[in-house]
Structure 1
Amino acid sequence: MADDATTGRGFDLDRRLRERERANLRRQLDPAATVEARARFAEDPKGSAPTFETERLVFASNNYLGLATDDRVRRAAERGVSVGTGAGASRLITGDTGLHRGLERDLAACKRADRALVFSSGYAANVGTIAALSPDVIFSDELNHASIIDGCRLADAATVVYDHCDPDDLRDRMAARERAGSDDEAWLVVTDTVFSMDGDVAPLAELCAVADAFGAWVMVDEAHATGVFGDGGGIVQREGLTDRVEIQLGTLSKALASQGGYVAGDETLVEYLLNAARSFVFSTGLAPPAAAAAREALRIAREGERTARLWAHVETLRDGLEAMGYEVWGQTQILPVVVGDRRVALELGERLRERDVVATPIRPPTVPDGTSRIRVTPTATHTDAEIRACLDAFEAAGREVGLL
């Protein structure tokens, strides 16, 4: 590397970092000793080993059911190690194992689909699936996840962004495209089901009705819904829409406490993707321990006991925060506590950390101007006392920053 990155054709990364610092957008790593409802944290050690000291309550995890440290899931991962710590190759070469096939059978049954296909991540599943389908036009919700946005870019399709969770706007935009476009275009409607920053749910039945009227396919990302809704399947299963959604996609890394992503649908879809989705074809298969852990986590999630505890905590937190005077959005396990001003949100987040509660401030450009928030996500393994401690921290911190 050149000594002076600002000369020639190099990249001035120091300047880029300074710009992020000035805009309050620079991120850092805060390593955790364990992935639990309560964990010890270390200051960002950069390239050095972390030193774990402060123990904090974690209300910023996507480990919704608290299964990442569940003994049954751990034992399943240990059994998966007997197959190999890694798959060793693409699944089309030698990286396909019985663990992968068992997980895919269970996912397909849970999603009420003919078949499922497991990718190395949810991100890889999204970009690979959208690009492989190569639609002429993609209709995408304006708040879709970055992996969907990148999939649209890779597909090199005409992308039409419709207003968030607005089937009427989708209908208007489809009608305008129909008037201006070709009759033989392939159209794809893509939406998250549970939106990770707003905690709201897409109106799937209405979106499917619009797509049906124009002959379009529907693809949904159940990343934040898998394991939590619809007997573990997601919003599609809760709403009884399996027969109206052509492509069901999700992740294994949130409620299912593992790693990887999946696509579920009919036999032809899966056969096509395992041949044409580049992020599947040219990636090493999911590590066998991860596949085994996800399969066990899915089994536990479908029992429903963990889910019931999660929803009880969600209700207690929402009621308590709103009683204090906070504005809480959404209808799911994701509780966005809306502050408005980015600086106030950052200060509130810091005051919470001082009280040993980790709840992440989210600010522009991740969310629109004027809607900065603290994103609160309880897990099923939080105790009642820990939920109370979170509420107490929000009350004290909110008074300190002048919100209450």
Structure 2
Amino acid sequence: MADRGFDLENRLETLEENDLKRTLSPVDRVAERGYFAQPSGSELPVLEATEALVFASNNYLGLTDDQRIQDAARQAAATVGTGAGASRLVTGDTLVHRDLERLLAETKDTERALTFSSGYAANVGTITALEPDVIFSDELNHASIIDGCQLAGSNTVVYDHCDVASLRTKLEQRAERATREGREPADESWLIVTDSVFSMDGTVAPLDAICDAAEEFGAWVMVDEAHATGLYANGGGIVQAEGLEDRIQIQLGTLSKALASQGGYIAGSAELIECVLNEARSFVYSTGLSPPAAAVASEALHVARHSDARERLWDNVAHLRDGLESMGFEIWGDSQILPVLIGDRRDAIAFADGIRERDIVAPAIRPPTVPDGTSRIRVVPMATHDQGDIVTCLEAFRAAGEEVGLL
């Protein structure tokens, strides 16, 4: 009988040969430093004896082990329960969810907000619920946006990364096509989708110019603030920093990065939320966000808005960027994400190994995650790193760079 299964062994060997095989390396806690275990497959991991500084986490404000945040989780678990128990449309809707959504809407300056079980679910659910006829998508958008476009069955037009001239050309071409076919452009629903901060490049989308183009052609704009929520004006994102709340119809983000929790959200008009609440399969058919996760996000958002955590993060970003650039490294982006361009995939892996040997965790990002020739070390400080931690990181980069021959 023919074997109609899958040759998993050969697939794993191919990944290994191409330096593409990833492994899991458990850590004892999620914070600015921790003890890591070597990859152990299905065996019980054994933590190393040396503590490492973490410069690879999206825990930007360092709130995962903040006492206030942990207390919020404990209180929610004790008073509401550890899980929602059902879809929000059945019995999984609680006052903790409503409090978080009220605070998100206030922060994002919208009528309402809605939380999902993950940022991925928020992107896929929102895009598929709207079912745009045409989506104009930045070429470096997150995989959840790309998957949402595919699942929606929309005609997806990709424009060059953060290039408004490219976007305008695509919009014009689509409008001209409609005219040639004897249709009015307004017969189609158009959605422009972009991340605000791009996670692998650290670049920031030119949202004001994107809004100008959208308004000229009558398109809606959807912005994923996953790597910006909590870090900018009043705990908001790039949309708030640039005062674009009235020009962007859909704001989206995660609770799992700066807000130290789990889940995702969208924010916008009351009509948008009602539509998505009823038609997004990833919301309707998922158990609601756990009450402790919702409570954690609420407390973290409060801390982001009313403490000096954001200022401490940006001070660390400036110090680290200046130090790396003074060594001669090329740093991309304009955000808290500092991609150190290495270029060659094997050089990047060797460099990351050298940094790790010096007890700094900052992994190599390589193809297929990024294009060939642009392998990099993705460096991200946290608000909870002190100045000594930043200096230690810079010293490790210098020593590893000299060892590998990059400096």
TM-score range, shorter chain: over 0.9
Matching of residue 378 in structure 1 with residue 352 in structure 2:
no
Task: Work out whether 1:288 is the aligned partner of 2:291.
Answer: yes
What's 1:345 paired with? Answer: 348
1:152 to 144, 149, 152: 149
- Offset at residue 370 of structure 1 (A): 1.1
Give aligned-pair identity as a percent.
64
Match of 1:243 among 243, 246, 253: 246
The SS at the match of 2:193 is strand
TM-aligned CA deviation for residue 304 of structure 1: 4.2
Equivalent of 1:38, from 33, 38, 52? 33
Mapping for residues 210-249 of structure 1, pairs under 5 Å: 210-249=213-252
Query: Is residue 108 from structure 1 mapped to residue 108 from structure 2 by the alignment?
Result: no
Within the candidate set 60, 63, 69, 1:67 is matched to 63
Matched residue, 2:5: 10
Q: What SS is found at the alignment partner of 2:161?
A: coil
Aligned length: 399
Structure 1 unmatched runs, 5+: none
Residue 83 of structure 2, aligned match among 66, 86, 108? 86
C-alpha distance in 2 between matches for 1:18 and 1:246: 46
* TM-score using structure 2 length: 0.97
Counterpart of 1:72 in structure 2: which amino acid?
R
Structure 1 contact 143–195 (Cα < 8 Å) conserved = yes
TM-score of the superposition, structure 1-length normalised?
0.98
Q: Which consecutive residues of structure 2, in runs of 5 or more, have no partner in the other structure?
A: none
Superposed, 1:179-328 pairs within 5 Å as 179-181=176-178, 182-183=183-184, 184-328=187-331
1:176 and 2:173 aligned: yes
Match for 2:116 among 103, 113, 119? 119
Mapped to 2, the partners of 1:211 and 1:304 lie a distance apart of 35
Stretches (4+) displaced over 4 A:
none
Cα drift, residue 19 of structure 1: 1.0
Task: Name the aligned partner's letter for residue 61 of structure 1.
Answer: S
Q: Deviation at 1:391? A: 0.2
Segment of structure 1 superposing worse, 385-394 or 52-61: 52-61
- Per-residue deviation at 1:232? 1.1
The residue type equivalent to 1:328 in the other structure is I
- Single out whichever of 14-23 and 112-121 deviates more from structure 2: 14-23
CA distance in 2, matches of 1:366, 1:282: 30
Residue 310 of structure 1 contacts residue 380 of structure 1 at CA under 8 Å; is this kept in 2? yes
Q: Among 82, 90, 95, which residue is 2:92 paired with?
A: 95
CA displacement at 1:147 relative to structure 2: 0.3
